Structure 1
Amino acid sequence: MYHYEECGLSNVWLLDGYTIENDDDYGETVSIASVYDLHKTIGLFLITQSPELYGEQIRFLRKELNLSQKNLAGLLGVGETSVRSWEADRGRIGSPTDRLLRALYKEHVQGDGELRNMIEKLNHQERTLVPKSVSFKYGNNHSWHQSL
């Protein structure tokens, strides 16, 4: 059994799928089969089986999403200090934000990117002026469209 601490999680052990070799120059080296698939499997386990996400799990998911603390905070609609606190186990993530992080990760590995696009669009809308009125037009194809 191999204690796979390199992923950033303290409780992950590999039963197989790895080889340990001794290198004359570098000492003991570990080779792990399909690290991408392993991390995807770990992430899916976390979002479906962990009742509450804690620091190192949040950090793992953020890194797998390839996001900085600042960018994750922007997607989740929280401050960067909140993400920093969660990852250091100095605060709780809160249920709605926890669910959104899980949904973002699931879509990242199994979806089409639409959830993330929608969230980014909503975040952008919060920073833009809302028009006083909007117009809609009924087209020849018998459907409604926003008139620009």
Structure 2
Amino acid sequence: METNLYRYKGCGLDNVYLQNGYTVSTLQSGDEVVSIEDIEGLHCAIASVIVDSASALDAKTFKFLRKELDMSQRQVAQMLDVDEQTVSLWERARTPLPQHADLLLRALVKEKMSGNAELRKLIQLFNSLDREARAMEAKIAFEKDDGHWIQRAA
């Protein structure tokens, strides 16, 4: 890397460098403080490059994108129909990130950038329908009415 580039660690990624758009100030204590212009725009640009990359998401990029979506691990877990702990394990690189999780997170980021929220709504609808179907499969109640067994209304 060129020496005039600033390594930006604030996003949680190891490979982000800034050529400009930042200032370095020195406090009276001698400590340096870095101020970055339009940090939201920078994070949007980083997310765009990640989403359009052909490389599979790793733990850090998955976590970065999740945070850019302003989603908790629990929310991502619900969308993917996995345990919250599973998302935590992916983000700590303890278990491999499955391709469907990679693709879904990329699609959600693309959707957010376009200002469209239909995919998220559709996923939530499918998940709620799936939960209802599983609940129906798990418990079917019957009652005897006029000498005949019939399914009891929920």
What TM-score results when the alignment is normalised by the length of structure 2? Answer: 0.78
Query: 1:19 and 2:23 equivalent?
Result: yes
RMSD, aligned CA: 1.8
Q: Which amino acid aligns with 2:81?
A: G
Deviations 1:110-138 (A, max 9, x none): 2311111111111111222599xxxxxxx
- Which residue of the partner structure matches residue 51 of structure 1? 55
Q: 1:105, 1:76 → 2: CA distance?
A: 15
Query: 1:78 and 2:82 equivalent?
Result: yes
CA contact (8 A) 2:59 2:97 kept: no
> Stretches of 4+ moved more than 3 A in 1?
none
Residue in structure 2 matching 1:97, options 94, 101, 105: 101
Residue in structure 1 matching 2:70, options 66, 84, 87: 66
CA contact (8 A) 2:11 2:64 kept: yes
Q: 1:26, 1:70 → 2: CA distance?
A: 42
Deviation, 1:79, is 1.7
Query: 1:34 and 2:38 equivalent?
Result: yes
Unpaired segments of 5 or more residues in structure 2? Answer: 137-154
Secondary structure (helix, strand or coil) at the match of 1:127 reads helix
Residue in structure 1 matching 2:13, options 9, 13, 23: 9
How many percent of aligned residue pairs carry the same amino acid? 38
What TM-score results when the alignment is normalised by the length of structure 1? Answer: 0.81
Q: Look at both structures and tell me which one has the larger radius of gyration over its CA atoms.
A: 2
- Which residue of the partner structure matches residue 113 of structure 2? 109
Deviations 1:88-115 (A, max 9, x none): 1112211122111110111112231111
- Which residue of the partner structure matches residue 150 of structure 2? none
CA contact (8 A) 1:55 1:87 kept: yes
Deviation, 1:25, is 5.5
Q: 1:76, 1:18 → 2: CA distance?
A: 37
CA contact (8 A) 1:69 1:80 kept: yes
Q: 1:49, 1:104 → 2: CA distance?
A: 15
CA contact (8 A) 1:76 1:101 kept: no
Structure 1 residues 18 and 111: CA distance shift in structure 2, 3 A: same
How many residue pairs end up in the alignment? 131
